[in-house]
Amino acid sequence: MSLVPEGPTARGAVPHPDVHTYDEVNRDVLRALETPGKGWWALLAVAAAGVVLFFSAWGWQLYKGIGVSGLNSPVGWGVYITTFVFWVGIAHSGTLISAILFLFRSPWRQSIYRAAEAMTVFAVMTAGLFPLIHVGRLWHAYWLIPYPNSRFLWPNFKSPLVWDVFAITTYFTVSATFFYLGAIPDIAAARDRATGLRKKLYQVISLGWRGTDSQWHHFGKAYIFLAALATPLVLSVHSVVSWDFAMAIVPGWHATIFAPYFVAGAIFSGVAMVITLVVPIRKIFGLEAYLTTKHFDAMAKLCLLTSLIVLYAYLSEFFLAWYSGEEIERTAFWNRLFGDYWWATWTMLVCNGFVPIMLWFRRIRHSIPALFVISIFINIGMWFERYVIVVTSLHHEYEPFAWGIYRPSLTEMALMVGSFCWFGFWFLLFTRLLPPIAIAELKEVLPAPTRKKTGEAY
Amino acid sequence: MRKHWLIGGLASLLALAAGVAFIQEEPQETPVSEDIAEPEYPSGQPIAFPHDQHAGSQPGQNNMDCQYCHYSAERSVDAGIPPVSACWGCHQAIPGSNNPEEVAKIQQSIQTGVPIPWVRIYKVADHVHFPHMRHVNAGLECQQCHGEVQEMQVLNSRDPVWGGDNMGWCVECHRQPDDAGKPQASTDCTVCHY
Amino acid sequence: MDNAAGLLASYEYLDSTVDAIKALKKAGFEKIKAYAPYPEHHIEHALGYGQSPVRVWTLVGGLTGTATGFALTTWTSIDWPLVVGGKPIVSIPAYIIIAFEMTILFGALATIIGLFVLSRLPSIKPPVVYDPEFSSGRYGVYVEGSRQRLEEARQIMNEQQPIELREGELDD
Amino acid sequence: MAENKNMQDGIKRRDFLKVLGVSGAGATLTGCSTEEVERLLPYVIPPDDITPGVSTWYTTVCDGCSARCGMWVRTREGRAIKVEGNPNHPVSQGGLCAKGHATLQHLYHPDRFPGPMVREGSELRQVTWEEAESLLAARLSSAQNPMLISGQMGPSLNELVDEFVEGIGGIRVSYDAISDAPLAEAARIVYGTAGIPQYDIENARFLLSFGNDFIETGSSPVAHNKGLARMSSVDAAGSKGRFVYLGSRLSLTGLNADKWIPIRPGTEAAVALAMAAVIAGDDPEVAGPYSNVLQAFNPQVAAQAAGVTEDAIFELAEDFASQAPTLALGPGVGAHHSGATAANIAVMILNHVAGNVGRTVFYDAPMNGAMSAYADIEATVNAMASGESDVVMVHGANPVYSMPLQAGFAEAFAQVPFKVSFASALDETSEMADLILPDQHFLEAWGDSSPLAGVVAVQQPVMQPVPHFESKQTGDVLLSVANRLSGEGDAATFYDYVREHHRSAHDDADGDFEDAWQELLRTGMADTRREEAGALELQSPEVALSFEVPTFDLPGDLTLLVHPSPRFGAGEFSNSPWLQELPDPVSKIVWHSWLEMNPHTAELRGIREGDIVTVTSPHGSLEVPVWLYPGIREDVVALAMGGGHTGMGRYADDKGVNALNLIPSTSEQLSGALVTTVTAVTVIPTGEKRRLATVEGSSDQYDRMIAPAVALADLGHAGDDEHEEGGHEELRELQGVGGFIPVPADEGAPTAFPLEGSRHGLYAEAQEGPRWAMAIDLDKCTGCSACVTACQAENNVPWVGEEQVLMGREMSWVRIERYYEQVDATQAADLDVRFLPMICQHCGNAPCETVCPVFATYHTPEGLNAQVYNRCVGTRYCANNCPYKVRVFNWYDYTDAVPEPLNWQWNPDVTVRANGVMEKCSFCVQRIREVQNRAALEGGREVRDHEVVPACEQSCPAEAIVFGNIRDPNARITQVSASERTYRVLEPLNTQPAVNYLKKVTFHEVASVGHEE
């Protein structure tokens, strides 16, 4: 069994019409790793500043107490959990594009999956911080991890939060491994062209890869199995995250639709984020030949599909709230649309439900600036989706007398903004240290050089 | 605790929290009035009190019952520190053959009315409620937790048998099956934590 | 064993590479190693590869994970039974999730370990027989044999017009 | 607990021990403190009634207000840590109000004076008692007509003060910020009796209150609260007393009425007399000398004046006559207008005509309430202003604050050359004093009280004076000053004086005095009441009476009601953070003041809730935010007293506004009482607005049947509860369609424990053990909020301050929810108010437990929903998932803000929670453990029913709360829960709470909302 079906032309259109030889690929892609320009340094500086802000805000909170947030009772979860879910969501499409599209042999995968996977890894790294940020006693958070201790105490495996611990850590480990494994041959390629310190570095992290037949042979198998394992994992992780809410009895959380709804939402936001990230990379590193409109078209279509699923989820939530006849449920959803947080809800509906409708049009799908803008709208919308779910559900619950209002504090905002910088920081480093496009796999879909030009087709 | 930190430390960023954590975890100071003399003895105790001399059963020792001085152990959560008057009760008559200057401090305390600032050796964490009377009445010997105090000349550090910092130590005992095969004492959290 | 050595040929074309390998195999050479910038199934066919044993590692790892997951959750619940929300002490539905995640985790890790073991990675010592171009555009064929047989090999390889053909010391 | 309350005689025996370490001040949650050196200070000489780690209880008398309720005080290692109502007290009969609990904070208040102070310029310098007393003696010896202004006092001190003042040839002025003078005066005029009449509210079947807030203020709020609860709760015969409130504003008392007739302010007399006239009918002679008065009045006139329908008055009169025994209460301190005395007379006539005298109202055993005449202090002000007196002493009063600004007390007081204050803590008056002789707190001092003729209760010290403050009780100060003046060397202490006082009063026929005295100290009181014949004759008034409706100072289109606050009285309690953070029982607002205004009035003027308005009367003006309240007449606005302190310390200053700045200093003509309902005001929005620091989310329960009711008529028709609010059918429907694992109709009661599907692990072992449960009777609960403060005191619950409350972070474990239900939409006025104390429900299927990742909350074998603070990581998931929203979180280290020595009050049996930890009601698990430990020591006996009493139940004056082991079929809890009124909040969620609520019973039909028929 082979990695590519019958040759590059199996799916008709050639994905990279402007790329001809293997050497070209190496040259173009590895050019990205050469000495960076001013723009990159500027961005890195901004990101670094944001990281400093992030950790000083966190330090401040640890020093004063979680009270520096705007949280209260009844709203015990706010921006922190919102941002956590947001980043977990972002983390999804990476592995999805990579693993699922790999299993389905989708021809537009190769040139974007490296960036997408990097995004996944860094997004999980960001998301993983927020549960730690939001707990009241960080210095005891390790109690959620099962380990033999002198108290004979163990975590409560019935609690969705413990499921989270397992899901997130597993997801991080697997996607990091998957990311690294896929990168090894390309790092080797980088090694063979690099010099000096970089060469040393690549020598180490390429693990002495030489592209021998046996290496490729086992590599292929291992990669397939990892993809096969990662695919259900992707689906499970965000289901588990959604159960943090669905397992609770809070009106607006307690819904069976949550798992698929969240997974769709995650892919939706993830793909949008990939577009947001890949557009500049393509421009800066001049990779137009590798990231063609065909790729963006495909991603836009995926966005469109998931946006429809998400919109459907919204509507069905409202419908079921009404149809159930359950007064408390009805009030909860009425309150979403017209209550104290109507603005959040409508932002969510517009950005996720209506803006993506433009993607029906081919012209928009093929206009990269348009896609870039839309993708940013979607990112905002998806953040607000989580905000709506978390906050509006909590602030009006069963006991009318205990209803309350939540106002995010500056500290929370700082941490939220800071998290984007933290993510950006790592992503910027990535673009300079690892080949942003999968070299080896790209070659698979290029026509192999043959001597007998008219000979039997390889 | 220490062991937990070891493992806890492994979790990244917890380390970052730890410092702050302990700042926050400082228990509030209990005011100590100035008139208390600073400890002068290696034991850290203001008076070189020989437990063995009082409670020891060797010839020449007095073989007193622990609860003669720690009088409330069997009816209260606190074992009780003997009032100076209790010491004075005997030491009025007994000037103390070995070191009378120590005994003199008792008299001084009685006269000035300034209590003796004993240094606390055994203490469970503040969020643990340990009812002495339940344990004494359950037939535990003082020595099972406090060690062979009656053989100690100075009581300046915890006896190795003491594990009061470590919940597992309590639980292991509570868990021991009784005749009916059930735990001999409840392992319900709110028995000690509330 | 100075009576044995290796030959390394680099080719520009896939078909020449494959032909070379086929020819060498026909000539009865055993120790043939091929280099390629990407996984090339034609080469694998030529060398006649079967199924990779990596999958066994994955399977075993996965199953271990499942078992561990259920064991951990169940045992800890029984070890100190605390009732929450009036639910059973051991509530399997909840534990399935833990078991699932551990299946994936162990499975993935086992796969990687398997891969490393099987393809002798990581090998930090610098390659003796290698051409940096292999990671870029070229294919390579390396064959080992006794000195007299190598002459035969050299001819077979030359038939496919290699870009370069050189004596290589014995690889590992 | 009564059995182990042994009492010792004499103050010397109760040595205060400097115990550190052993019981610092409550344990702290943050452990790992074993490393640093800690001092153990034993007694020098052990008091033989104190065992370390064991609470000692003493009986004494609450000195919080003039009611003087009986008190039990719990002390640990010599620190008073909790006060509770003394069930054996003949008047208060157990239970204690929030203010009573807060007296503990006055004991340990950081703003108490460190010792005697002498003013030097603007500074106060601490001096020794020696110096201070000799200074006072010196000034007095040369003083011309010195004055002593004092509030309520116990008999002994009263006598001593009289002697003292006489001795120095001075003038004594008694002054009470809140005084029942009109009532007393009325009684004097009509029946020639002194003192305040005694009411038997409990046995009245029909109760009328003409603006009398008897469960908040007046002669004995706690007792009256209990009386109201007993009267208005359904008895075995299924009948229930009816309570109608006539007034222009629904006070807390009014909120408990079955009907509200919103009459105009000042028209009580007209209505009462009209009713009397109707009842008397064609035989006005029953009104004796007042028969002519009756002829002048009839429902038509009254209806006109009061702004209600004629029929309403007729109806009322008929009910009042028919449903004997009935009882009517005249306007109380909340509604003193210029016709207050007349109004009270009118009500007395009404009672007389209805034949209630001797049945429900008694004039022959009068109560010693606060009844000083404001006129006297007015006179004093003039005297001071004209420099007649050069020494003025103030004890137990704060006139600078509690008199209307216009009275000019402060200015006059400033004229006095030498001003002496006996205040133990800082207040506006002592702030001006030249010499401060800080009195002891009543928990540190000797004294006595006689709340009721023939009843004597002794107030005895329960601990040595708090060492931070060199206080000395006024009795001793006066004695020693007297000695200095007279030059005698009499060493008698005030303790001897009190003892002597009682010896002289002792009748040797009742046996040896020593025994009597010991008994008196042990039980806390002696009851020597003699049964006397009831009916008295009406006496013809010797003064001219006018029953005219008073007019109010114009201009102004809204009548201003200035009333005492249920939390602060007239402001003497404002410096207690507990009370500041106790949600006002009516408005649910904390820390600041508000203006109550009817929503319609506000709408007409374009005013919204939270708008800051300028309230202007002819006598002053102030700015205050508006709170919209349907329970007030559209032509009336109300302001509570107790806000706007300027010199009362850190917790009282600059909190709210002082309503007294708006009213003139006028006294009522007959009784000389201060007139509070006197002026009209104009209300103009300033354009600014603020968020009200309220704990109320919504006053509408949206038909969720949180606090349902059942109509009296529907009682006894169990089973067909389809038409009943909060019926079970919704639950059954759900079960029918398999909404969740169906719970059979007979199961799901707390008795059926553990539930099917919960019989696992520890539960199984617990089959035999207790199952703690609670029942709260909403028909009894009056919303007085005493339980809230009691809980705060018992469980070391911190206060968080106004900013935190504004953020929605109040920490209280008990939340008294207050919902409005419209009786019928046609009557805008008629409110059906539902109070519901919401605490942790200790659910059998608790949603909070499942989601905790670390088992910090779980279910104990005894059925408690435990919260293990030291295991809590602070994910707050449990709070999110609690449908009752009873879990509160420590957002900061709130307890750090508690200054020395306030933290001495902390309960050493309860862990003090640290930053980042969840907490909630624990059913007072520490008390359960204490009792279980005791039972174990006493030969492992069973815990008796009612042996475990949580703080809330103990303090509930209305006896609405019952706690116990519901597995015991004979326990009170089991029997109470068997009532057909029993329901559990949010039942359809199948959380299986351990708290049973008993529905409120209404006279009107309750809508069967929520179920479309």
Domains belonging to chain A, first-starting first, are 22-146+155-445 (1.20.1630.10)
Q: Nearest-CA neighbor of D910 among D797, D772, D814?
A: D797
Interface of B with D in 49-78 (CB under 8 A): 72, 75-78
**Token pair 């050299």 is at which residue?**
C154
Q: Nearest-CA neighbor of A193 among A357, A400, A456, A439?
A: A439
**Cross-strand bridge partners of residue D775:** D962, D996
SS3 of residue D297 by DSSP: coil
Q: How many residues does chain A have?
A: 458
CB contact under 8 A, D854 and A158: no
Q: Given this model, what pLDDT does residue B6 score? A: 44
Sheet containing strand D123-126, edge to edge, reads D123-126, D117-120, D435-436, D418-421, D391-395, D147-150, D171-174
Specify whether the CB–CB gap between B46 and B39 falls below 8 A: yes
Burial of D108-129, coded b for 16+ CB within 10 Å and e otherwise, reads bbbbbbebbbbbeeeebeebeb
> In angstroms, rounded to a whole number, what is the distance separating the alpha carbons of residues D559 and D43?
62
Query: What would the pLDDT profile of A245-261 be if each residue is shown by its tens digit?
Result: 999 999 999 888 999 99
**How far lies D86's CA from each of A380, D228, D615, D782, D944, in Å?**
62, 19, 43, 20, 20
CB contact under 8 A, B4 and A132: no
| Residue A42 structure tokens | 């500027």
CB atoms within 10 A of CB C147: 10
CB atoms within 10 A of CB D204: 27
CA of A398 vs chain D CAs: smallest distance (Å): 6
Residue D15: list chain B partners with CB under 8 A: none
Percentage of residues of chain D with pLDDT beyond 90 = 36
Provide CATH 3.30.70.120 ranges for chain C.
Answer: 4-51+127-167
| Residue D434 structure tokens | 């030249």
**Cross-strand bridge partners of residue D596:** D627, D638
| Residue A414 structure tokens | 């700082």
> In angstroms, rounded to a whole number, what is the distance separating the alpha carbons of residues D275 and C156?
129
> In angstroms, rounded to a whole number, what is the distance separating the alpha carbons of residues A345 and A395?
14
Handedness of CA B143, B148, B152, B155 (dihedral sign): negative
Query: What would the pLDDT profile of B107-144 be if each residue is shown by its tens digit?
Result: 888 888 888 888 888 888 889 999 999 999 888 888 88
> In angstroms, rounded to a whole number, what is the distance separating the alpha carbons of residues C137 and C132?
9
Sheet containing strand D361-367, edge to edge, reads D196-199, D361-367, D447-452, D455-459, D525-527
> In angstroms, rounded to a whole number, what is the distance separating the alpha carbons of residues A109 and A444?
12
> In angstroms, rounded to a whole number, what is the distance separating the alpha carbons of residues D32 and D22?
16
Residue D853: list chain A partners with CB under 8 A: 143-144, 155-156, 159, 161-162, 165
Residue D42: list chain B partners with CB under 8 A: 80-84, 115-116, 118
CB atoms within 10 A of CB A33: 19
**How far lies B112's CA from each of B84, B176, D419, D455, in Å?**
11, 49, 39, 44
Does A373 reach chain D within 8 Å, measured CB to CB? no
Neighbours of chain C (3+ CB pairs under 8 A): A, D
CB contact under 8 A, B168 and A145: no
Residue C86: list chain D partners with CB under 8 A: 754-755, 757-758, 844-846, 859, 992
Beta strands D435-436 and D361-367, pairing class: unpaired
**How far lies D635's CA from each of D558, D600, D632, D663, D682, in Å?**
5, 10, 8, 17, 11
Handedness of CA D715, D721, D723, D728 (dihedral sign): positive
Is residue B8 exposed (0-12), middle (13-18) or buried (19+ Cβ within 10 Å)?
buried
> In angstroms, rounded to a whole number, what is the distance separating the alpha carbons of residues D308 and D316?
12
Specify whether the CB–CB gap between B100 and D31 falls below 8 A: no
> In angstroms, rounded to a whole number, what is the distance separating the alpha carbons of residues D71 and D96?
8
Tell me whether the omega of the peptide bond preceding residue D325 falls within 30 degrees of 0, making it cis. Answer: yes
Among B98-107, D16-25, D222-231, whose mean pLDDT is lowest?
Answer: D16-25
**Token pair 């850190």 is at which residue?**
D650
Distinct helix (H) and strand (E) counts, chain C: 5, 4
Query: What would the pLDDT profile of D354-379 be if each residue is shown by its tens digit?
Result: 888 888 888 877 888 888 888 888 88
Interface of C with D in 40-99 (CB under 8 A): 81-89
Does B1 reach chain D within 8 Å, measured CB to CB? yes
Q: Given this model, what pLDDT does residue D395 score? A: 92
Residue B165: list chain D partners with CB under 8 A: 34
Residue A153: list chain D partners with CB under 8 A: 854-855, 871
> In angstroms, rounded to a whole number, what is the distance separating the alpha carbons of residues A282 and A290?
8
**Cα angle value B181/B186/B188 (rounded, 5°):** 130
> In angstroms, rounded to a whole number, what is the distance separating the alpha carbons of residues A52 and A46?
10
Q: Given this model, what pLDDT does residue B22 score? A: 38
CB atoms within 10 A of CB D767: 12
Interface of B with D in 133-152 (CB under 8 A): 133-134, 137
Specify whether the CB–CB gap between D130 and D136 falls below 8 A: no
User: Regarding predicted confidence, which is higher, D539 or C97?
Assistant: C97
Interface of B with D in 159-188 (CB under 8 A): 164-165, 182, 186, 188
> In angstroms, rounded to a whole number, what is the distance separating the alpha carbons of residues A81 and A341?
17
> In angstroms, rounded to a whole number, what is the distance separating the alpha carbons of residues D208 and D214?
11
CB contact under 8 A, C83 and D844: no
Closest Cβ–Cβ partner in B81, B189, B190 for D40: B81
User: Regarding predicted confidence, which is higher, D503 or B37?
Assistant: D503
Q: Given this model, what pLDDT does residue D727 score? A: 52
Please name the amino acid found at residue C49.
Y
Specify whether the CB–CB gap between C25 and C46 falls below 8 A: yes
> Least CA distance to A143: which residue of chain D?
D854
> In angstroms, rounded to a whole number, what is the distance separating the alpha carbons of residues D458 and D450?
9
| Residue A109 structure tokens | 């995968």
Closest Cβ–Cβ partner in A23, A240, A456 for C97: A240
Residue C83: list chain D partners with CB under 8 A: 754, 758, 760-763, 849, 858-859
> In angstroms, rounded to a whole number, what is the distance separating the alpha carbons of residues D902 and D109?
6
CB contact under 8 A, D760 and C81: yes
- In this predicted structure, the answer to whether residue D829 has a pLDDT above a threshold of 90 is no
Contacts of D802 (CB under 8 A, 6+ apart): D590, D591, D592, D655, D693
CATH code reported for the domain at C4-51+127-167: 3.30.70.120
SS3 of residue D620 by DSSP: strand
Q: Given this model, what pLDDT does residue D224 score? A: 92
CB contact under 8 A, B3 and A142: no
Please name the amino acid found at residue A103.
L
Closest Cβ–Cβ partner in D844, D848, D857 for C86: D844
Q: Nearest-CA neighbor of D952 among D831, D737, D797?
A: D797
Helix runs in chain B, H state only: 2-10, 14-25, 51-55, 66-69, 84-91, 100-112, 132-137, 142-146, 167-175
| Residue D327 structure tokens | 């009882």
Residue A129: list chain B partners with CB under 8 A: 13
> In angstroms, rounded to a whole number, what is the distance separating the alpha carbons of residues A290 and A29?
9
Query: What would the pLDDT profile of A216-246 be if each residue is shown by its tens digit?
Result: 888 888 899 999 999 999 999 999 999 999 9
Q: Nearest 10 degrees: CA dihedral of D965, D967, D970, D975?
A: 80
**Cα angle value B122/B128/B134 (rounded, 5°):** 80
Closest Cβ–Cβ partner in A23, A210, A233 for C136: A23
C4 pLDDT tier (thresholds 50, 70, 90): low
Q: Given this model, what pLDDT does residue D29 score? A: 38
Full-model pTM: 0.89
**Token pair 């708008």 is at which residue?**
D611
What's chain D's average pLDDT? 84
CB contacts < 8 A, A to B, total 55
Query: What would the pLDDT profile of D544-575 be if each residue is shown by its tens digit?
Result: 888 888 888 778 889 999 999 999 988 899 99
Residue B171: list chain A partners with CB under 8 A: 151-152
SS3 of residue D833 by DSSP: strand
| Residue D874 structure tokens | 């602070």
Query: What would the pLDDT profile of B77-90 be if each residue is shown by its tens digit?
Result: 888 888 888 888 88
- In this predicted structure, the answer to whether residue A38 has a pLDDT above a threshold of 70 is yes
D8 pLDDT tier (thresholds 50, 70, 90): very low
A171 pLDDT tier (thresholds 50, 70, 90): very high
CB contact under 8 A, A402 and D879: no
C62 pLDDT tier (thresholds 50, 70, 90): very high
| Residue A371 structure tokens | 């896609």
Interface of A with D in 122-151 (CB under 8 A): 131, 134-137, 140-141, 143-144
SS3 of residue A177 by DSSP: helix
D19 pLDDT tier (thresholds 50, 70, 90): very low
Neighbours of chain B (3+ CB pairs under 8 A): A, D
**Cross-strand bridge partners of residue D837:** D816
First-to-last C-alpha distance (Å) of chain D: 53
> In angstroms, rounded to a whole number, what is the distance separating the alpha carbons of residues A442 and A450?
17
Q: Given this model, what pLDDT does residue D827 score? A: 55
The phi, psi pair for D71, rounded to 5°, reads: -135, 140
| Residue A422 structure tokens | 């933290």
> In angstroms, rounded to a whole number, what is the distance separating the alpha carbons of residues A105 and A109?
8
Residue B14: list chain A partners with CB under 8 A: 132, 138-139, 141-142
Query: What would the pLDDT profile of A313-353 be if each residue is shown by its tens digit?
Result: 999 999 999 988 888 899 999 999 998 999 999 999 999 98
**Token pair 């200053």 is at which residue?**
D653
Query: What would the pLDDT profile of D755-770 be if each residue is shown by its tens digit?
Result: 544 444 344 444 677 8
| Residue D7 structure tokens | 């009492």
Q: Nearest-CA neighbor of C122 among A208, A420, A6?
A: A208
Beta strands D361-367 and D196-199, pairing class: antiparallel
Beta strands D995-998 and B118-119, pairing class: unpaired
